[in-house]
Chains A and B, each alone.
Chain A
Amino acid sequence: MTTGTDLTVLCVDPDAEAREGLVAEFETRANFAPTAADSVGSALDTAESTAVDCIVAEYDLGDGTAFDLFEAARDHHPNVSCILFTDVGHADIDSGAFRDTVAEYLPKGGPNATDRLVDIVRNAVLNRTQVGFPLPPDEDERLEALADYDIDDLTAVESFDRFSNLIVSHFGISVAFVGLLDEEEERFVACHGADWETLTREDSICTYAVLDEDVTVVENVQADPRFEHNETLKQLDIRAYAGANLTTADGTVIGELCLIDDEPRRFTDEELTDLQLFAEEVSDQLELRRRLREEETESTSAEENS
């Protein structure tokens, strides 16, 4: 979700009256931008073309169930909140093939059902209650701090490329990268040894590393219960990992400087100390870029006001 904008709610129901009623309900509330769809197919068309914060769906959607929709929608928006809003009782809902989907459920006929729905939608999106990864306790402040950096601009900065190049040869590893974690994905500002651009928060080891103050080491990624079934990491040949926090001047963690190897390996204390020093250097560079950007913005607005 983008801070400061309305919550986009996709209301999916084959029954036109119910669908339009739901859209009308959200339209009467502040800070909601509802859209509508009548089937799995049409809802996915919408979800693929626009940003969606939350999907509210009836169980039987004609061309599939709400679970088919939730599963497919999360391929595009891993953090989208999914709410089953239906008269079908829990005993008649078949979750057998979708036991990992996980969604909120609210009976349509319950007391104050629409008020309850609005509360649940708001909480699910704003408090990120359906994300498939652990969240740092200061996630909101962290994202605010990250917004002060221009990630697209940073990607073009050569010094980060030089850092990752130098790090790969210094440690004798296969890949080094500078990654910043935004709300949905990790974006690689520089990456040497591979051509990775992004990785979802769910898949990224850095999602876990930002929770720790110290350098995070995973000597054998495929033997760690958090990552052993993670196919993406396997495909990218991420077998060993060491990550040091990249922090703002006030200590907020915005990303990681990482060492990756294509086979399990140990890291010596000296190597981890070096990694920490490199990370501090990269953090300083990031801070410098942020200040430059701030000054540019200030001088532009001063010119506009003069």
Chain B
Amino acid sequence: MTQTQKAHYEFDNLPLEPVDTGTSLLVTGPALGGTRRLMMQLLACQPNEGLLLLSTDLQGEEAIEQFEAGGCSYTTSRMAVIDCTENSADDDDRNVHAVSSPRDLTGMGIVFSSLYEDLYGAGIERVRTGMYTLGPLLMYAEEVQPLYRFLHTVTGRIRTADGLGVAALDPEAHDETTFRTLSQPFDAQVELRERDDGQRQLRARGLADQPDGWLDVDL
């Protein structure tokens, strides 16, 4: 692999140019409008890339099913799920690690960092991290300060480790100011919308060297 290829993450089935390593993207779109499908496409790993998926709304196995629906098979030697739901459970066979609840930002951060180091130790230097979705974190957070600390810490780790971060948020579920300030720890946004005729489109904002405007996408 050449140096140029190594410095980017590529998206095979999306109308997006590769993005620099260390980038964290915020994917925004309606919960029922294909946002999860889009995120799973962004996380679709190339061979030898690792995956860390923080799931706040689906338990481990269900989250894995959603990831595999994106066209990638889940490989436990280089992929792991952090189950942050209320009914979370460990599953060693599937490399699923439970955090007590979406309220436990400290636990979530520590499991995330620990699994990141495990991948690094196994020689996997390119890792895609997904967070689906930020909604429950925001809903359960009594104060916003720990949430900022958490998002800064996770995106900071992704930047230092040359990873790729993708987190999803439904802008319609939160007021505009909350949404806008919560997007700050991320480097750029990928917006998803559905036209009246049912065609889904995406638009990248804040990323260099990407096509302008809304682009058709089939998810």
Contact = CB atoms under 8 A, between A and B. Distances in A.
A233 to B, nearest CB: 11
A110 B146 contact: no
Given A95-B104, A96-B100, A225-B175, A104 B109 contact: yes
Contacts of B75: none
B148 A132 contact: yes
A67 B107 CA distance: 11
B110 A99 contact: no
Interface residues of A, number: 42
B181 A106 contact: no
Interface in B150-206: 150, 152-153, 155-157, 159-160, 174-175, 177-178, 180-182, 184-185
B155 A102 contact: no
Given A102-B106, A134-B185, A124 B148 contact: no
Q: Is the interface of A mostly helix, strand, loop or mixed?
A: loop
A134 B181 contact: yes
Contacts of B150: 102
A84 B182 CA distance: 26
B113 interface: yes
Nearest to B184: A134
B159 A127 contact: yes
Contact of B109 (A102, A133, A208, A225): A102
B149 interface: yes
A130 B114 contact: no
Contacts of A199: none
Given A96-B104, A102-B153, A130-B153, A225 B144 contact: yes
B109 A105 contact: yes
A224 interface: yes
A144 to B, nearest CB: 20
B91 interface: no
Interface in A93-142: 93, 95-96, 98-107, 110-111, 116, 119-120, 123-124, 127-135
A95 B153 contact: no
A119 B160 contact: yes
B153 to A, nearest CB: 6
Interface residues on B, range: 35 or more
A93 B108 CA distance: 11
B156 A100 contact: no
A91 B106 CA distance: 13
A170 interface: no
Contact of B105 (A89, A99, A105, A111): A99
B3 interface: no
Given A67-B106, A110-B117, A226-B178, A134 B148 contact: yes
B143 interface: yes
A20 interface: no
A111 B146 CA distance: 30
B213 interface: no
A90 interface: yes
Contact of A128 (B152, B160, B178): B152
A127 B156 CA distance: 8
B209 interface: no
Nearest to A216: B177
A100 B145 CA distance: 9
A99 B113 contact: no
B117 A102 contact: no
A212 to B, nearest CB: 8
Contacts of B144: 132, 225-226
A226 B181 contact: yes
A234 interface: no
Pairs A-B, 6 closest by C-beta atoms = A129-B156, A132-B145, A100-B146, A134-B184, A95-B106, A105-B113
5 contacts: A104-B153, A128-B152, A132-B144, A132-B146, A224-B177
